[in-house]
Structure 1
């Protein structure tokens, strides 16, 4: 019997019939591979039996002619085909599966399986040991604490931004040159991704006997077509054995994806109802993602069916006050499929303007909260507008058509340069195109202006309807039809609509007198509310201010009302100090900060007990007394709630939005000499060894007290303290610095250096050196009020080290106090990531270099290890902060600008006064989602604003010198010819480099690629594209 090794296509079949006409009456059964009667050879009559020689001639003739069409076709005997198939199956599937299966040290007490090739693609329905393995694949639940206790690991389930179904983490990073994790889908497809963009994680701990084995193998060269996945090089392919996929990956992924999909429709209905009942008509706000899931769990739609509005609201109020919601905490079990389906549902309803962005914690890799959009202001407004924009209004024209026609007839925009090389956009209008004042575009089309502003602010990043509308508009506008759809392009259109051909520095161009000021600046402070007199009140000054998540006054009526309240409320008069206050009398308190500091909330004192023994006092401003002493004052308590909703002072290059009103900050500020000021003071003795090489913290001497301080030496800015520490005693005396102040500062500096060394040696702290936080944006004011972009490098000077180490000491001591006395508090924690042996070894070598050689990582080394670093997070658990090198860490040093510190202060006050704690653990856990989400929102917007100004600066440089090139530092592995990079002198300059197709080497993380040009900049979207020259 003869078989063709592959089926014939239509052209090949016709060729066969043409060359073998006698075959037309012969029955062929391609491609079913059934037996067939071969066509007769020309020399053979119909009645003669074919000899072996005839058959061989037919085969050879057929093969020669068929190869002219497809050289890959061969004719083989069925046994040969069968043997080759079995060999391929053995090498590609059975051997890897057997190797993995037999490498596992099964739990012999409960599981004793033996490998068989018949396991492959079997359901194992009747094998008890199989049911034992997959038992955790059903009804999976987890808690928020489980996310906090362990970072991403093998077995965890995740979503990727471009994937709707869950994947499983099947491998962790193996070296610093490739920090990617490996994720597998239920069908075995592998994805190599970093953890930075994971929006959702479900903890899933595999049994120890599976964790101890490798799930992935390098596919060996078996001579057949590979079934593995290329990771880095063509000749090395990674394989997830079929049996591993069947036992570990597929059951739980299929079950959860199916279960979540089954729940999706009902969750969509519940979410829509919940949104109606929790939305705030005054503005967007964030709700805990976990609270939302609990509401979905306990909400019964039958209770709200056909009810009157009053009954619906009443029923929902009862629901919110139910035990299930009141008792919700970080230990509450969350159903994994509901968690996943809720995420899917929110993403779907984002298209309908019900929900804003989902805030994702970068440490937990989990949604923390979601922004609730007001129904009337978003859902009703935008859906009605999208419908109206296409409806005819007059003369057969739709609103959209009229807008586009008016823009196309609008004035042309020219760009000129003034003597200061500042870009000025001016508007010129011809008589023929001049619009009547009644048809001013910004007045006649306010909805379009609103959409453009919100799109530029990043409020519609997840909304395909708005993106499609803006794309349609740009394609029909003469000026923009050939432009890319970017936020900067939309900003140009917005300027045209509002005739914002503005003077320098305004209208979001923000290039002003852009200049590179490379002076070294160790300042740790920030700018005033309107930095250096810059006019940031123009709604288009920086369109990122309109971001609805950050909720600045120009984007939220809710925040406008809060701002008005902040401006009107007066702090209560100071009460007498209580018996619990300790007066430090004439002890000098050094408040070391920058000249432009917004709040002065910490100070340091030192007492020398003998040559090697010192008492350190860290004094922190005490705004908590204002709230605790006026708990019955409704205004004060409303202010406390508003402070929680802000959670932090927002610092942007062009704006500062304080957590507390200025009047309250001023009342609590330190630094007013001879004015008695309330503090919470942390005191501890430290002992320096005789060689000044090490230090010992004497924890048994630790005290925390309510304090009174009044002696504040002047001129203790960072720069002045650095000058004092660098100058000789005589030089300082000539400058008016007394010897006791010099001695105090020198002793504090010496102790701070030893504390830093102690954290590195004993706490395994990781500290960065040169190149970290370079090129930070600062703004100054030009003569006509526009912003001038400058840059500074944040350096670890002696004064910065002094303050940093004292604050870390106070926070570590406070954490120890809270943990030992079981005080509910808000801790800040950091977990190191799970790494494979080689990656962990490379990381340990870096740490050892810091320890032994005092070598601080430079920018190249930081780039190698950056992707292997986690993020810190707030929690109610006393977990370690491994980056700082602290067993526990609880922030208390900035209560004027961080709400967690203010909460911890109130807990300390009650502890000192032996009162029941103001906040229970459950109270703390209810605050955490708000604090965590605000932390995420502020950090993200701060980064965007810094990059916005940097990219506008680079735009100006390219305009002045279009041929300018840059050296970029590689920060990722190559992916499809693109690679992430950064400009070494600017920390916020993350971009993407397009590699040359004929490049004869593969760039590695930490490499510098020289002579790259900038291809594209989208400042509002933070996009920076490079290519190799």
Structure 2
């Protein structure tokens, strides 16, 4: 609608007032509006749409007009709401009151536990789309096929919402049984009526069907043929929003869906009541969490600590749940009195023991840990309370399943420093810091602001993601960056960037500011993560001390013989064994205390604990195949030829026979959980001494943990000649049944060889010909027979349901070099990829190398050989443990797909088994439905590997889970006659802790690789612009999506971890429409960069004409 704007002359003192405009009558105004509307309608080329109801006849009397409006309204309500509700009731003969009562019980009396948290996203789950809201949605449908990745939700108002997993902030698993949700058919196809706009929602694809037309209507001939230029071109309208408008769906064949009113009645009140009850609990949880947080901030000397630590999410909830709330006393207490009252509650939290580095939070939980469950409303209220206090708690989520695993307890000292820094910046601090920074950049005399250290800490936490969902912090930091850049622009000190970051005042810009103040040293921000707790980063004093202890160990015993000699005479008193690592901090730093020597030596077994069951292994080669840069050699494979079978033994390093499970080295390794592999170097789970002593390549006498398997020649040949599901099952079952677990003595058996060398042997045509003719004998045939068996094992698992994903990737590594040692030109092409040096004012220069990972490529037969034997050995060892009731930590994965979906996947795998591999589109579709694997103690199988049980045994030098499982099997073999249920340790808490460690490390590794790949691109394009690149990179984009639904997702060769997209402009759409571009095709276009962000990992380009 339009209205006339009257311009009035301004009144000044002494002037004659302008006459007031004559007030127009309502009729005159209506005529004027109609005239304006007609004029606009005539001038515009597009059809003008009046959203008012044009069917009303305003010539009618008011009473008649009102009656018509009311009648039409009743008719619309009847057709849109009442009739669908009646049809639903006719189809579902239910006792409504009983059904409502059941749903209320599901939500109000539902419980959540550790076991629930490991389930994949499914129908019947509750999900929150806002981390600070208690309003939950119910999952009512999950993806039905590979092409669809959206989940269908219903909220408390009966509205349908489509989401991807990434949009979910919190999930409460298993609230309503999926069968109950499906039984109610909550989502119904809407029946359209002629001339009446539908109220339902189209699906995420705007699917069409003649059934969606009003009754008796026939489908009209489509004006736009599929794939036409007109369909793909941008018109300036929001296509999705226009299609979603209900008026435009009137009398169309676009399918729309509704939630019938009876269903709304069933779910609405329980969802609302759960949200209200959860909301009411937030205040209480916040107060208790504040008190618990205070307790965990003091050491035994009542001094504040500065260490961030982690605790499993449900363990913290359990502590809070059992906390005695003495609010009345606390309300009137302060200072020492408050501390005295809080300290009295420590017993309720189960906190005790040495506390020099903070009160220990997690000890190995009891069997009760996995049985504890909590009301759903309490869990939601608790999670929202945590989210509302981001400076005290940071929740870490498992990305795929959207469940929280643990919480970082952030030190109060950091919270205080953050608050001080923000208060300073909100006052005059931004001006002070801006003046300081601009003077620093201008190399003038500058005065450091009062809170420089605190502000720098805030910037690091902002960049590293240590504090999340803190809107005040984000706002203040954004204002600071804006002020700095504005001041730099005014003084001509900032070069305008040709390439934008994802956000104008982004984390990447904050990182640049940090870097310039750190003398230009470019650093991976993941190293500042409070969750990762890497040593020598200023994040964790405890990690620093652990590394000092490792260094002390490596320095003290630099050879295997030196350790053996020390262990022989080692002894320690009970009092000494009870001491903690912190008690020897000074001695460790000085590395000279004889008391420490004795205590250290007591970490190791003086005698082999498995001597009674250990066997001598014959003089056969054990092939240890790994990359040339491997830090630990922890596995190998041997093969022996029997008359009717191949005896294959997968040998694994045996640190559990050397290291005591009560040792300080073991406790440090348990806390780390796994070796952390970052592009700039590894932070080892174990000191290097353990690899020297226990690694498969250790010289002289050595020990191994062996998984012995017999591969029947007859069954193998039967499967190779006629690969069927029946033959596959028979071969795998015979291997599993033959499995024996052994602890072995070996001596100089290891033959260390690289993936590349094995590939050359297997690719040699003369060797292949001799093997096929049977003229290659003895150990020379070992690689070929091992490769043959491994290939068969892979095919067997595919028949068992394994999903085979080709792993084409690049590897990124960073080497810091002194500035004077960096070679020119700074950008160089290498044999396998590229290398670039990020030269700046810093003395240490990061040199980034990105290469194709040929060792892990699909064509690498050596990689296939090793991985398939390790997977089979892990499966066989797990089966042995389960068969003999030995508790171990299992690796499980549940995809949770319906039967039709599984059938489609099986058909797809069968299609590609003996033909070409999966297409890019198929792999991308598969990836949307994969769920994370978990460590747990209950057997659920590993679906993507096609195995009924699976665990980790084969990498004990870099994964703590493997050590635990070795210990358990070792104890079983030694104590077979005495093995009872009472002697079995509960492993649930340990499994949960190790799952958290693995998750945090994987996220850090992925984020670090993306950061360095983006840093490479940033430096490359800057050098390219300066003319310093003589041989430019020819970038190859693998198209993963089309242009119909926005920017085109791509995979950039060598830089495959980046979130790469091509802007979907009209030119790109035309190329897709013409067939020049298609999903799965590799293109090499010319382009200009729109976005490149190191922290958000985004690389967006716009194609230019060639």
TM-score range (shorter-chain normalised) is 0.7 to 0.9
- Is 2:687 aligned against 1:687? no
Judging changes above 3 Å, is the alpha-carbon distance between structure 1 residues 591 and 738 closer, same or farther for their aligned structure 2 residues?
Answer: farther
Deviation of 1:935 after TM superposition, in Å, equals: 1.3
Aligned to 1:615: 647
Secondary structure in 2 matching 1:1014: strand
Deviation of 1:72 after TM superposition, in Å, equals: 6.9
**Separation in 2 of the partners of 1:460 and 1:448?**
14
Corresponding residue to 2:787 among 712, 728, 749: 749
244-253 or 932-941, larger mean C-alpha shift: 244-253
Could you tell me whether the CA contact under 8 Å between 2:701 and 2:747 is conserved in 1? yes
- Is 2:648 aligned against 1:676? no
Corresponding residue to 1:228 among 161, 176, 200: 200
1011-1020 or 543-552, larger mean C-alpha shift: 1011-1020
- Is 2:176 aligned against 1:193? no
* Equivalence map 1:452-491=2 (5 Å): 452-477=459-484, 478-479=487-488, 484-491=504-511
**Separation in 2 of the partners of 1:287 and 1:332?**
16
460-469 or 305-314, larger mean C-alpha shift: 305-314
Corresponding residue to 1:263 among 281, 288, 312: 281
**Separation in 2 of the partners of 1:958 and 1:925?**
50
**Separation in 2 of the partners of 1:594 and 1:848?**
32
Secondary structure in 1 matching 2:620: coil
- Is 2:995 aligned against 1:995? no
Aligned to 2:82: 94
Unaligned runs of 5+ in 2: 7-22, 31-49, 207-242, 244-248, 299-304, 353-362, 491-495, 558-562, 568-604, 724-730, 823-844, 1026-1031
Q: Deviations over 1:912-955 (max 9, x none)?
A: 11165899777311223321211111111111111111112222
Aligned to 2:19: none
- Is 2:668 aligned against 1:642? yes
Corresponding residue to 1:184 among 151, 154, 160: 154
Could you tell me whether the CA contact under 8 Å between 1:592 and 1:603 is conserved in 2? yes
Could you tell me whether the CA contact under 8 Å between 1:863 and 1:1006 is conserved in 2? no
Deviation of 1:607 after TM superposition, in Å, equals: 1.1
Judging changes above 3 Å, is the alpha-carbon distance between structure 1 residues 973 and 195 closer, same or farther for their aligned structure 2 residues?
Answer: farther
**Separation in 2 of the partners of 1:818 and 1:562?**
33
Aligned to 1:415: none
Aligned to 1:416: none
- Is 2:312 aligned against 1:288? yes
Judging changes above 3 Å, is the alpha-carbon distance between structure 1 residues 135 and 180 closer, same or farther for their aligned structure 2 residues?
Answer: same
Could you tell me whether the CA contact under 8 Å between 1:617 and 1:684 is conserved in 2? yes
**Separation in 2 of the partners of 1:899 and 1:867?**
30
Deviation of 1:993 after TM superposition, in Å, equals: 4.8
* TM-score, normalization by structure 1: 0.78
- Is 2:551 aligned against 1:551? no
**Separation in 2 of the partners of 1:252 and 1:984?**
50
Q: Deviations over 1:615-652 (max 9, x none)?
A: 11111111112234x74xxxx2x222211111000011
- Is 2:978 aligned against 1:942? no
- Is 2:533 aligned against 1:495? no
Aligned to 1:1015: 1090
Judging changes above 3 Å, is the alpha-carbon distance between structure 1 residues 1025 and 462 closer, same or farther for their aligned structure 2 residues?
Answer: farther
Q: Deviations over 1:115-148 (max 9, x none)?
A: xxxxxxxxxxxx4454345432322113221333
Deviation of 1:760 after TM superposition, in Å, equals: 0.7
- Is 2:77 aligned against 1:138? no
- Is 2:377 aligned against 1:337? yes
Corresponding residue to 1:309 among 339, 343, 358: 339
Aligned to 1:360: 397
**Separation in 1 of the partners of 2:925 and 2:456?**
44
**Separation in 2 of the partners of 1:20 and 1:936?**
67
Aligned to 1:395: none
318-327 or 1017-1026, larger mean C-alpha shift: 318-327
Deviation of 1:345 after TM superposition, in Å, equals: 0.6
Deviation of 1:972 after TM superposition, in Å, equals: 6.8
Judging changes above 3 Å, is the alpha-carbon distance between structure 1 residues 648 and 875 closer, same or farther for their aligned structure 2 residues?
Answer: same
317-326 or 461-470, larger mean C-alpha shift: 317-326
Could you tell me whether the CA contact under 8 Å between 1:173 and 1:835 is conserved in 2? no
- Is 2:290 aligned against 1:272? yes
**Separation in 2 of the partners of 1:469 and 1:666?**
51
Q: Deviations over 1:808-859 (max 9, x none)?
A: 111101111222222221111111133584x5454232222244x3543243
**Separation in 2 of the partners of 1:68 and 1:256?**
38
967-976 or 153-162, larger mean C-alpha shift: 967-976
Unaligned runs of 5+ in 1: 1-5, 22-66, 114-126, 392-397, 413-428, 501-506, 509-540
**Separation in 1 of the partners of 2:483 and 2:86?**
61
Q: Deviations over 1:779-815 (max 9, x none)?
A: 4577436413222233131111111111111110111
Secondary structure in 2 matching 1:990: strand
- Is 2:785 aligned against 1:724? no
- Is 2:440 aligned against 1:379? no
Aligned to 1:600: 633
Aligned to 1:81: 69
Judging changes above 3 Å, is the alpha-carbon distance between structure 1 residues 325 and 647 closer, same or farther for their aligned structure 2 residues?
Answer: closer
Secondary structure in 2 matching 1:410: helix
Could you tell me whether the CA contact under 8 Å between 1:286 and 1:930 is conserved in 2? no
Judging changes above 3 Å, is the alpha-carbon distance between structure 1 residues 921 and 371 closer, same or farther for their aligned structure 2 residues?
Answer: farther
Judging changes above 3 Å, is the alpha-carbon distance between structure 1 residues 875 and 495 closer, same or farther for their aligned structure 2 residues?
Answer: same
**Separation in 1 of the partners of 2:936 and 2:945?**
16
Judging changes above 3 Å, is the alpha-carbon distance between structure 1 residues 372 and 919 closer, same or farther for their aligned structure 2 residues?
Answer: farther
* TM-score, normalization by structure 2: 0.73
Judging changes above 3 Å, is the alpha-carbon distance between structure 1 residues 137 and 462 closer, same or farther for their aligned structure 2 residues?
Answer: closer
**Separation in 1 of the partners of 2:1044 and 2:381?**
31
The structure richer in helix per residue is 2
- Is 2:424 aligned against 1:406? no
Could you tell me whether the CA contact under 8 Å between 1:177 and 1:1004 is conserved in 2? no
Could you tell me whether the CA contact under 8 Å between 2:99 and 2:266 is conserved in 1? no
- Is 2:615 aligned against 1:582? yes
Deviation of 1:195 after TM superposition, in Å, equals: 1.7
Aligned to 1:861: 922
- Is 2:950 aligned against 1:889? yes
Aligned to 2:810: 775
Deviation of 1:298 after TM superposition, in Å, equals: 1.6
**Separation in 2 of the partners of 1:270 and 1:162?**
20
**Separation in 1 of the partners of 2:1080 and 2:200?**
29
Aligned to 2:849: 789
Aligned to 2:908: 846
How many residue pairs were aligned?
871
Secondary structure in 2 matching 1:849: helix
Could you tell me whether the CA contact under 8 Å between 2:850 and 2:1054 is conserved in 1? no
**Separation in 1 of the partners of 2:1010 and 2:29?**
72
Deviation of 1:479 after TM superposition, in Å, equals: 2.8
Could you tell me whether the CA contact under 8 Å between 2:626 and 2:755 is conserved in 1? yes
Corresponding residue to 2:682 among 656, 670, 683: 656
